[in-house]
Amino acid sequence: MSQPATTLAAGGAGSSVGVVETRYLDLPEPVRLDCGRELHPVRVAYETYGALSPRRDNVILVCHALSGDAHAAGLAKAPPEESARDGFGAEGHGKGLGWWDGMIGPGKAFDTDRFFVVSTNLLGGCRGTTGPSSPDPATGRPYGPDFPVITVADMVRTQRAFLDALGVERLAAVAGGSLGGMQALEWAVRYPGQVDAVVVIASTHALHPQGVAWNAIARESILRDPAWQGGRYYGTGRAPDAGMGIGRMVGHITYLSAPALEAKFGRRLQSSGDLRYTITEPEFEVESYLRHQADSFVRRFDANTYLYTSRALTYFDLAREHGGGSLARALGGVEARTLLIAFSSDWLYPPSASREIEQALRGLGKPVELQVIEAPYGHDCFLLEEARQTPVIRRFLERGSS
């Protein structure tokens, strides 16, 4: 299972896990879903970094966010056209580099000299794991809108089944940011005896109503694009790129903070001179940035996966799912140590949500640590503030092994 750690000359703090190839595993059994349906077959795209210990007790599962994939670290053997690394952090980032490369590798936060790090593409994805663009065995055509509506719990069930197939019973840790953090929390609640620690970054136990609204708007913009065609756009030569682009623009602004936009773009115009008096063309730099982000995203992402994943993350609600409305009750069975990291300027997954989790766990007498990092980049901090997260995470993981 281990991956050769070819150190790259270009490696920054810590070194690189080297060149990595995404692999695929077909689950032997159907996955039972919250909605009542079963999904079969399910293929899982994954990568691993580091070496599995003989006792199989050094496994860290890394969970990605809405637009990520299994390629979390190292250099892809076959670099994609567009990086899965988004936003500010994408600039100057090699296209083949994993989305969390700064965090995973020898000497990094998730230290592959010690841990065997496993990263999977989530259920419903479009980067190798079964999702709405996968063939429906009933028809031989892509599922499209016939794909079952999935939840974060379903993603976690799929990861559990995948690790079973890999022969991994316990996890030293589950870690993720944003939607990835939701998966980590779900792991801690759903499989309490099988997770030693969870690292939940810029995430929440339940998205607040404004976040629900932003996600609804992004989905609506896809649904209202005539090219969506009721979700059966595969093979038609048309895809709801226009609508998904709008959704992505909304996402981008919610991932950033107002001060970050001010610092990066201000009100600078595209043309060095004066106004061009145009309705259809970008006039301000920030307008041009949004178009660019939308255009590059639609080249690499499937609109139905966006819909299903966005729906799953708005559904996620630990208190409702596991506690009859009470977060404390939902967390009552957690056995893992919990590290929560939040960012002061993140208004989509605000520190207050992490604080609620911290207080609930503390009230239950469970080991929990909350670090709120003062940083200006909003939700995107979880991908950008690697240097400041690294010592916090390393210390937390080291304490577990002492």
**Residue positions annotated with a catalytic role:** 178, 346, 379
If we measure between CA atoms, which residue out of 84, 59, 76, 68 comes closest to residue 120?
68
Give phi and psi for 39, each to the nearest 5: -115, 130
Number of residues that bind its own copies (CB under 8 A): 59
Nearer to its own copies, 22 or 257 (CB): 257
Nearer to its own copies, 74 or 181 (CB): 181
Pick from 26, 136, 169, 262: which binds its own copies (CB under 8 A)? 262
Distance in angstroms (rounded) separating the CA atoms of residues 109 and 97: 17
Interface with its own copies, residue 315, by CB under 8 A: yes
Interface with its own copies, residue 338, by CB under 8 A: no
Nearer to its own copies, 297 or 347 (CB): 347
Nearer to its own copies, 14 or 378 (CB): 378
Distance in angstroms (rounded) separating the CA atoms of residues 2 and 305: 30
Options 87-95, 107-115, 273-281, 331-339: segment touching its own copies (CB under 8 A): 273-281
Interface with its own copies, residue 290, by CB under 8 A: yes
Pick from 286, 331, 360, 373: which binds its own copies (CB under 8 A)? 286
Q: How large is the C-alpha radius of gyration of the chain?
A: 20
**248 belongs to an annotated ligand binding site:** yes
Distance in angstroms (rounded) separating the CA atoms of residues 327 and 360: 7
Interface with its own copies, residue 245, by CB under 8 A: yes
Pick from 54, 193, 235, 280: which binds its own copies (CB under 8 A)? 280
Q: How far is the CB of 262 from its own copies (least distance, A)?
A: 5
Exposed e or buried b for every residue in 81-92, given b needs 16+ CB within 10 A? ebbbbbbbbbee
Q: Is the peptide bond before 376 cis (omega within 30 degrees of 0)?
A: no
Interface with its own copies, residue 287, by CB under 8 A: yes
DSSP 171: B
Containing H/E element for 183?
helix 179-190
Residue ranges at the known binding site for substrate:
248, 380
